[in-house]
Amino acid sequence: MIQLIVGLGNPGPEYEETRHNAGFWWIDEACDAWNIRLQPEKGFFAHVGRGTVQGHQIWLMKPQTFMNRSGQAVGALCRFYKIPADHVLVVHDELDLSPGQIKLKHGGGHAGHNGLRDIHAQLGTPDYWRLRIGIGHPGVKSEVVHWVLRKPPLDDRIAVDQAISHSFKGIPNLIAGENDKATKIIHTRD
């Protein structure tokens, strides 16, 4: 069962269209799909909203701490509402997947993703859910920082948007605790 969905990104208009903000793009789509409005919450260092998805109460969150401190926001809300780590879904950009690919997984390492690294530290465990949105890799490790902080070409953005839309077919199952069904739906594309 999922109680909190966190989209990772960086606040501010200069980052809005960059690859690193794929998690924010997902949350924006979720707000539209589920009619949830986000509000600034200083105590949680984030924009948050609460709503109902098929009878289940959920929180949506866009941390406003910048990527490297995402865990500060996640940890604050989880501690306040006593949400266990395995009831959290973190939506983030993934270098190891091509644009248009999307994968759901539970637990695992942070693979150098600083947002995940900070969430691990704040929650004290890697045992939370992740929805990994492919943004592709520049091919050279030294170019990764520039890659994630740049706007993708239109074809890549369309592929990412289509993957995000597809994920909404399975996320209600994940929210309801139907983890295997959610994974199968998200991993199966026409």
Active site amino acids: 20
What is the rounded end-to-end Cα distance, in angstroms, of the chain?
26
Rounded to 10 degrees, the C-alpha dihedral 21/22/23/28 comes to 90
Burial of 61 (0-12, 13-18, 19+ CB in 10 A): buried
Q: Which residue has the tokens 């690193």?
A: 20
Instruction: Give the β-pairing of 102-106 and 88-94.
Output: unpaired
Instruction: Show contacts of 121-125: CB within 8 Å, 24+ apart.
Output: 121/71, 122/71, 122/72, 122/74, 122/75, 123/71, 123/74, 123/75, 123/78, 123/85, 123/88, 124/85, 125/85
